[in-house]
Structure 1
Amino acid sequence: MQKLEKTLDDWKAMLDPEQYNVCRLKGTERPFSGKYNATKADGVYHCICCNEPLFDSAAKFDSGCGWPSFYQPIGERAMVEIRDVSHGMVRTEVTCAKCDAHLGHVFPDGPPPTGLRYCINSVCLDFVARD
């Protein structure tokens, strides 16, 4: 996969302020505020920055955490995991493999078959319904 690289000014011009804050500055949206938190439609969630497919709706579940949750990404190479020691805790950050957008974090408390919970900010995603 070829990396998509842009300057922060390019990203700022392309994204709205909340998307820029979360995707490029590693912010987070308020829990239960995201447009995809309760979505149950059939389709694919893409990166808002580069349109790369990230999650299939079949892997989405209601974790009750306030952010869209998935038990696995759409493919092994869809994202990169990074050790995150910010905010006085140790977590695993997930970023888009193509454009390095911050998406959220992955935790080891999800359902079978993976036992993982990818806790993802809605503002990082664009949903495309399946025809």
Structure 2
Amino acid sequence: MTQPHTPAGPAEPTGARTEAQWRDILTPEEYAVLREGGTERPFVGEYTDTMTTGTYRCRACGAKLFTSQEKFGSHCGWPSFYAPLAKDTVRYITDSSLGMERVEVRCAACDSHLGHVFHGEGYDTPTDDRYCINSISLTLDEG
């Protein structure tokens, strides 16, 4: 298996709220994923199979993260994108929490957990990256 790479992106988030403020803004399910790094169950998310044209934003802060143009059907159980909207919209953290090394993807604006990026899985996309993103971390502006 090819080792995931870490694309360039901002090293630190550009803005944040206190955890108490996040608890007031987010539902308990959103908080568990966005602020505590949880993962929603596969194949249950609102955007898993959606191919609607639009822009995906961070559910926590509203920052633009991905577009439908880069979304593809990976059949992995979560929405998949082959690239973010721009390299500075997300940041990357090495994640060794499950006994393997993965690359966590976070919102560059508010540091919320979005999912993980995997490289070299053989998908027929321009980057061979799969940004595996929790639906609950996103909202979709259609159009």
Q: TM-score range by the shorter chain?
A: over 0.9
Aligned with 1:88: secondary structure? Answer: coil
Q: 2:52 aligns with which of 41, 45, 68?
A: 41
Q: How does 1:1-131 map to 2 (within 5 A)?
A: 3-108=14-119, 109=121, 110-130=123-143
Question: Aligned pairs, how many?
Answer: 130
The 1-side partners of 2:124 and 2:70 are apart by 10
Q: Provide the aligned C-alpha RMSD in A.
A: 1.3
* CA deviation after TM superposition for structure 1 residue 123, in Å: 0.4
Preserved CA contact (<8 Å) 1:94 1:104:
yes
The 2-side partners of 1:5 and 1:26 are apart by 16
Sequence identity (%): 48
Misfit runs of 4+, over 4 Å: none
Structure 2's unaligned 5+ residue stretches are 1-9
> TM-score, length-normalised on structure 1?
0.95
- Per-residue displacement from partner, 1:30-54 (whole Å, max 9, x unpaired)? 0001000010100000001111000
Structure 1's unaligned 5+ residue stretches are none
Where relative contact order (Cα < 8 A, 6+ residues apart) is larger, the structure is 2
> TM-score, length-normalised on structure 2?
0.88
* CA deviation after TM superposition for structure 1 residue 5, in Å: 1.4
Preserved CA contact (<8 Å) 1:104 1:121:
yes
Q: 2:62 is aligned with what amino acid?
A: N
The 2-side partners of 1:32 and 1:49 are apart by 22
The 1-side partners of 2:88 and 2:97 are apart by 25
- Per-residue displacement from partner, 1:43-83 (whole Å, max 9, x unpaired)? 00000111100001010011011000000000010100111
Preserved CA contact (<8 Å) 1:71 1:114:
yes
